[in-house]
Amino acid sequence: MINQDTNSEHTEEENKPEIEESETSLEQVLSENQSLIKEKNTLKAEVEEHKEKYLRLYADFENFRRRVAKEKLELTQTAAEGVMVSLIPLLDDFERAMKSMDTVTDIASVKEGINLIYTKFFKTLEQKGLKAMDSINKDFNMDIHESVTQIPAPSKELVGKVVDELEKGYYLNDKVIRFAKVVIGA
């Protein structure tokens, strides 16, 4: 029997370190689990924060998009306002000229009045960015000219150049808005 008691004492002593080790490892696992739970909660909070930021940003973008669409619509509706306001005085001049044509017998004064109105009209359009093309005796350029026909060139220097202009071409702020219709020397 002595043998058994010694064995049982010996077994209990061997088991104590295992129990202590398992308690230590349980504490570590619990500690790790708690830190993982804290990390999970932190990550959840960050996700919610980012989600909220995303929704606010999306709402801001939608508001911006609506505002830009509204401004664009207003701009297209009032785009010609500046030009129209500057042309109204010319309309007044034409009305005065038409009234005076009924009573005036001197055609020279009517011509002079029409020329003044034309000059004022063209200067107003130039102020808004319109510029006439100078095509006569220039090289034919497909980017700004539209060839209507070709005729025999009056001189060798005019071969391949614009001989006549049927319709004047125009630029608006250096962009062609109407091509010049021209006759080319062949």
Of 128, 95, 127, 125, the C-alpha closest to 113 is 95
Note the pLDDT tens digit of each residue in 39-78.
999 999 999 999 999 999 999 999 999 999 999 988 887 7
Please report the pLDDT score of residue 65 as a whole number: 95
Residue 121 φ then ψ, to 5°: -60, -50
Please report the pLDDT score of residue 100 as a whole number: 82
Higher pLDDT, 51 or 101: 51
Note the pLDDT tens digit of each residue in 124-139.
888 888 898 888 888 8
Please report the pLDDT score of residue 9 as a whole number: 53
Domain boundaries, the chain: 1-79, 80-128, 130-186
**CA-CA distance, 134 to 74, in Å (whole number)?**
36
Report CA-CA distances (Å) from 154 to 18, 39, 159, 165: 117, 91, 8, 15
CB atoms within 10 A of CB 59: 10
Tokens for 54, please give them: 């995303």
**CA-CA distance, 5 to 171, in Å (whole number)?**
115
Please report the pLDDT score of residue 23 as a whole number: 67
Note the pLDDT tens digit of each residue in 8-48.
555 555 555 566 666 678 888 888 888 889 999 999 999 99
pLDDT grade, residue 1 (50/70/90)?
very low
Residue 163 φ then ψ, to 5°: -95, -40
**CA-CA distance, 136 to 169, in Å (whole number)?**
11
- CATH code, residues 130-186: 2.30.22.10
Region of residue 39 (phi > 0: left; psi between -120 and 50: alpha; otherwise: beta): alpha
Instruction: Return the minimum-mean-pLDDT range out of 77-81, 135-139, 146-150, 165-169.
Output: 77-81
**CA-CA distance, 155 to 148, in Å (whole number)?**
20
Of 118, 56, 60, 123, the C-alpha closest to 86 is 123
Note the pLDDT tens digit of each residue in 172-185.
888 888 898 888 88
